Every structure is written in structure tokens, then in C-alpha cells.
Structure 1
Amino acid sequence: MSLLSELTHAKASLSRSISAENPTGEPGGGGRATTGTGAAAARELGVGWKVSPSVELAPHSTTTLADIDGQGAIKHIWMTCFPDHWRSLILEFTWDDAAIPAVRVPYGDFFCNGWNKRCNVNSLPVAVNPAGGMNCYWEMPFLRHATVKIVNLGDAALPLYYQIDYALEAVATPCLYFQAYWHRSHPLAQKAVHPILPQIAGTGHFVGTYLAYQSNSTGWWGEGEMKFYLDADREFPTICGTGTEDYFGGAWNFEQPQGQYGSYSTAFLGLPQVIQPDGLYQSQQRFGLYRWHVLDPIRFTTGLRVTLQSLGWRSGGRYLPQQDDIASTAFFYLDRPDCPDLKPRLDADWLEVN
């Protein structure tokens, strides 16, 4: 908090913001548009009166939302668009002209809304507010250049409202770059484990997990353990959890009151979304869960692998290996601007909520 009152800090950090009203973020560049999605509404008011509040995402296209030269860090992102398309839009963030984006994640999953249905999230790095205002506060540093793009895999043109707040400022070197990786098991193979993060090389720290989890079995579904294989770990992990609900900060099947799931959303962990079967086409239970390692980052020096078991119960007090539909997003920082070890599958059919 002391930084807010230090004038010297203000001199060294230049606040900038990119939106459809100021697409380059340049000083004095906002509100100058003469054409845009709000031009008809502002026809009697003219320039400066919300002429360009959004952009249109053409079908099967990539739109550059931000292209930033210099050294600095993205501090906050706000976006909103229609929920039906949250899985068919892909966010791509690229740092320092790397060969591949560091972030390639479906729009909804990035903001902890993985089922094309709205749910509010009240956490420190991610906040989702009524009715679909997506906010992200992960710090994203870059040394020379940053781009933020969004890919529309769908057949329809969509309006996107957005604002990307950043600072042009000195970044400590060497820096760690923000990364995010999405992976789906649909369904998970018999007696297999879900790879939250496949083996990667490098130094950094793991800072969060989001799960869009569909249970394909009856009964309780969350006995599986989270495992973190640090550095030289191979067969056995250094960090081994005691159950899915435990890792996400809950206990005893999230059952509160008895016979119901107790949803919750806190600064660092939550079960904000519980989607019940409707007795017709929505046949399975679906959940959204997040866990942020902000105060307890999981640090690694040479490599990391993260896995999740899917376990329920069967007769005789035995564990049941399940074949659930699990889509995960891993959030981490790495000592390089991209991660060639990761090759997410992001075609439209595979992303579809079904």
C-alpha cells in the first residue's frame, strides 16, 4: 500500500489502458473515434461520446486486442461477451515476440467460467461480477513487447467489450513470465490420471488451478489426489494432496447443508459453480472449482508436472476409478516467455461443451 503514496514510483511507472476507445493506449488517444459500434447511438452527440465501446469478432478469425511496445506489465484485464461463446473464443497472450503464445486458453475457463454459464467469482486474481464482467489481476510482465489476441472459432460474429490496463515501467530481470495451459480429458481413460500440467522444463512457480469438472458416475466424485512432481521427481511426487475437495479448500464432499453442495468463493479458493441435472438433456452434474497459490506458490527449479486422480466410491468401501469429463487450466510463471513443452488441443469440436 505504501507505493500508492510515493511520488517517485509514479514518475517511474506510466499508466496506460487499451480498449476499443483507445486501441493503441497512446497518451491522449482515448475517445477520438469517429466510427465504431456505438456510432449510431452517438449520432446526435458526436466524437467523444462512446462512439467505439466494443469490437466485432468476425467468425473464424483472430483479433489483436493489444500490441504493446516497451517494458512493463499488464495489471488488469476486463472483458465481457455472450456466455454461449465462452468456450469457442481463445485468449492468446505472447511475451517478447516468442514463437508461441504463453497463454492459449478458452475465454470462459481463463476466468473460471468453463461451462458457457455465468457464475460469480470473488477471488483475488480473478473476479467475475454480474452479469458476466470478467476481471483478471494476474501480473503479466514483459521486457520488450506484448500482444493480446482473441480467436473466434465460431460461426457467428460477436461483440467484445474489453479494457487492458498496463504500466510502462522497469521490470526486474531476469523476470518470470505468466503462462496458462488448458487441457481436457473427455472422458478420462480407465485408471488414468488427468494431466493438469504435463512435464515442463524450467524454473518458476505454479500459482493456480481451475477445473471444469463433470461427474459421469453416481455418488461422490472427488476422492482423487492432486500431485506435484517437482524437479527430479519421477515416479513419486514431492507434494501429494489428500483429495479433490481438500485441495480446493473444502471438506467432506462439500456437503453443507446435508444433502446439498455448498458453493463458496473466497480470495484463494472456491467452488463457485454447481450445475445440477435438469431431468432432460443436461444429464450430468457439473462443477467449477479454483485454487490460487498466491501466498503459497509451488516453486520449482528445473521442471514440474501436475496430475489429478479421478476417484469415487464403489461397494465394499473401495475406490472407484472414474471416467469423468475434466477440463483444467494451469496457471504458472516460468523463466522463459513461452513453453514449447505444451501443445494444447484447441479445435472447436474438442472445446465444445457437450
Structure 2
Amino acid sequence: MGGFQGGLGSLSLLSDAESRSISAENPTGARGGGAKAPTPESPHPSHRLGEGWKVRPAINIAPGETVVLADIEGPAIINHIWITLRETGLRDCVIRLYWDNEKTPSVESPIADFFANAHGLRYNVNSIPVNVNPSGGFNSYWQMPFRKRCRIEVENQHWNELRGFFYQFDYSLTEVPDDAAYFHAQWRRSITTRENPEHVILDGVKGQGHYIGTALSWTQMSDGWWGEGEVKFYLDGDGKYPTICGTGTEDYFGGAWCFGETYSAPYLGYPLWTRDEDDVPKHGLYRWHVLDPIRFKEDLKVTVQALGWWADKTFQPLTDEIDSVAFWYQTEPHAAFPDLPGPEGRWPRTKRDWGGS
């Protein structure tokens, strides 16, 4: 058996795959390459113990610095990613993944959003492919195969040094089947308008693949119900009308009747709802298409509408701010992503930004 295994039923099966892991203690992932940082001098926490005793568990990233966290020769499969960092970097640190020497990233997102944490906040997510555990342990179990090379970068776009950035990438050196597609993730932001109350989650995808998930950050401009809009999937040449159309935002995320409370489940969740007198309402949601991937052969576009209610019980177009990360697999090459806004274009909004008092 190769490295493509999953579920408890396959754990007893032998495999020729070789397990490797990259962290600050073993930055190359080499066999026997861990815990080799030089013996520290006082007053380092491990100076009494010496080499091999948690000398370099994390790194610091200077303002504006881009660090290559992993550079792996394939064929291989990334099985698990774990990261934790200070809260100042949740929206100001950008993670990028490149497959097989490509020039543009297949994954580009603020770090917290990649792990379904919205609005630069840190909170628990209890799903199967993504877990965020106390106090800010970010875990991804999306399987990421590649054939030639994987490069993982993090850029610190914060104005201060980011101290104490921890990471670990667990992967298998193994053959990759011909029909295995490449993992992609893309962040986008919209401020919807009365004239066009719609956020584009994903567009411009060309080639064959399948859509596997949505992480959504929703900031309300005003009070009231905000989730009446539908999520739509335009597949393989669809024009004005989509092939797949849901019945409402809360329905797409597995809830009903305006939610009423938060929840976090294996494949979908609404783990964040915040509201106080000093801020506007904010929501964080996720939906993983693990058992129901959206297949496409030529192209894909995904949108969500921003709709509430007028007093006369007709739909009200909303002017809300919506951020999203789309997750999908596809054949390469992929289309270049839209330019990622700078940190000021990603910072969470507050009542002051909307002109509230």
C-alpha cells in the first residue's frame, strides 16, 4: 500500500511510505536531523541540558520577512500541518504553498483564515479536516500530494517582529497516483452593495477538479438577520444560472431558521458569533465537502448572496463585508490568483469603520 490511506480501517495495513516531519527543530526533515541545534548559552531555558533538549522549538520572523518553512522533494504527501503564533499575526501573517516549482502559489491566505478562524480572532474548531484547539493550536488534515517539490512560505506583514512562531509539517515520501489532484486554497474579500449584494467565493478556475470547502467571515453593517442569501455553484460553462443552488446561507452551513446558537461539527459549523455595544456583529462559519465534493471538469465559480429582510417582508440587499477561503483540488496549471490585499485590506472591521457611534 502507498501513502494514500485514511480512516481507522486502514491503520493495520503495511506501507512502503517513509514518514518525515519538518519543524524548527528539524528544518529539513532529514532522517536523523532533529534536535541538532547548537548547545545554547545562558540564559536560554535549555542551557543546563545542552544539545538535543528543546533548543530551537520556534522561530522569530522580522517585519516584512518571508521565511521558507519547508522545501520538500517529492513525490510525497503532506498529511498534517500544525501551527501556532501570537494573535498579532493571525491576519497579518500570510501562508503560501507552491507545488512542483510553480511560480504562483496554489495556497495563499492569512494564516488564521486558512484554519477557519475568522476576523483575526482565535477560537476552537472541532471538525475532521481542520481543528483549532486551546489556546490557538491550528491543525490541518487536508491531504496534499505533490510529485516534484513542495515549498511552504510564511510572510510577516505586521509592523513588529513576530516572536515565537511554531510549526510542524508531517508528510510521507511515497508514490503519488496519476489521478491525484493538487490542493488549492484562496482568500477573498468583498463589501457588498445594494446594487450587487453578492460575494464571489471563487472564480476563474480552469481545469478538472472538485471543490472541498468554504470558510467564511461575515461582518454585518447593521442589525437584523443577514443570512437569507443562497450559495451557488456555476459548473462547466454555466451562464446566468447555476447548476447547484442552495436555499439560504445558514442552510448551506448545515443550520436552519437563523441558527439561534453556535456549533462546531465534523463537516460544518458556525463556531463564532460576536456582538457587543462597541462593535458590529461578526460571524465565522465553515463547510467541508468531504463526503459531497462538488465535481467540475472545465471551470468553476462559487458565490454567496448577502440578503436580509425589509419591514414589508421582502428581501433586503445588504452592504456587508464578507471574507472567505475557498478550498479545492484541481489539475495543474492553475490560473493566477487575484492580488491579495495588504494587511490594511484584511484587518477586521469595527463599528468605527462603518461610521457607527
Shared fold per TM-score greater than 0.5:
yes
Q: Which residue of 2 aligns with 1:6?
A: 13
1:337 Cα deviation (Å)?
A: 5.0
Change over 3 Å in CA distance of 1:37–1:312 after alignment to 2: farther
User: How far, CA to CA, are the matches of 2:25 and 2:248 in structure 1?
Assistant: 47
Aligned counterpart for 1:331 among listed residues 315, 327, 344: 327
1:51 Cα deviation (Å)?
A: 0.1
1:124–1:267 contact (8 Å) kept in structure 2? yes
Q: In the alignment, does 2:273 pair up with 1:274?
A: yes
Q: After superposition, where does 1:312-327 map in structure 2 within 5 Å?
A: 312-327=308-323
Q: Output one character per residue of 1:109-138: Cα deviation in whole Å (capped at 9) or x when no partner.
A: 001112222210000110000000000000
Q: In the alignment, does 2:156 pair up with 1:161?
A: no
Aligned counterpart for 1:180 among listed residues 177, 180, 185: 185
Q: Which residue of 2 aligns with 1:43?
A: 47
1:66 Cα deviation (Å)?
A: 0.3
2:37–2:56 contact (8 Å) kept in structure 1? yes
| Matched AA of 2:265 | T
Misfit runs of 4+, over 3 Å: 35-39
Aligned counterpart for 1:305 among listed residues 301, 304, 315: 301
User: How far, CA to CA, are the matches of 2:68 and 2:167 in structure 1?
Assistant: 12
1:36 Cα deviation (Å)?
A: 7.5
Q: Which residue of 1 aligns with 2:222?
A: 217
1:2 Cα deviation (Å)?
A: 4.1
Q: Which residue of 1 aligns with 2:203?
A: 198
1:183–1:344 contact (8 Å) kept in structure 2? no
Q: Tell me how many residue pairs correspond in the alignment.
A: 340
Q: Which residue of 2 aligns with 1:293?
A: 289
Gaps spanning 5+ residues in structure 1: where? 256-261
1:85 Cα deviation (Å)?
A: 1.9
Change over 3 Å in CA distance of 1:105–1:25 after alignment to 2: same
1:339 Cα deviation (Å)?
A: 2.8
User: How far, CA to CA, are the matches of 1:290 and 1:202 in structure 2?
Assistant: 25
| Matched AA of 2:292 | D
- Partner of 1:315, secondary structure, is coil
2:41–2:47 contact (8 Å) kept in structure 1? no
Aligned counterpart for 1:60 among listed residues 64, 67, 88: 64
Gaps spanning 5+ residues in structure 2: where? 1-7, 350-357
Q: Which residue of 2 aligns with 1:242?
A: 247
User: How far, CA to CA, are the matches of 2:344 and 2:174 in structure 1?
Assistant: 41
Q: Which residue of 2 aligns with 1:343?
A: 338
Q: Which residue of 2 aligns with 1:258?
A: none
User: How far, CA to CA, are the matches of 2:41 and 2:188 in structure 1?
Assistant: 35
- Partner of 1:5, secondary structure, is coil
- Partner of 1:253, secondary structure, is coil
Q: Which residue of 2 aligns with 1:141?
A: 145
Q: Which residue of 2 aligns with 1:17?
A: 21
- Partner of 2:60, secondary structure, is strand
1:200 Cα deviation (Å)?
A: 1.6
RMSD: 1.5
User: How far, CA to CA, are the matches of 1:37 and 1:59 in structure 2?
Assistant: 26
Structure-2-length-normalised TM-score: 0.93
2:40–2:50 contact (8 Å) kept in structure 1? no
Identity %: 45
- Partner of 2:258, secondary structure, is helix
User: How far, CA to CA, are the matches of 2:42 and 2:234 in structure 1?
Assistant: 51
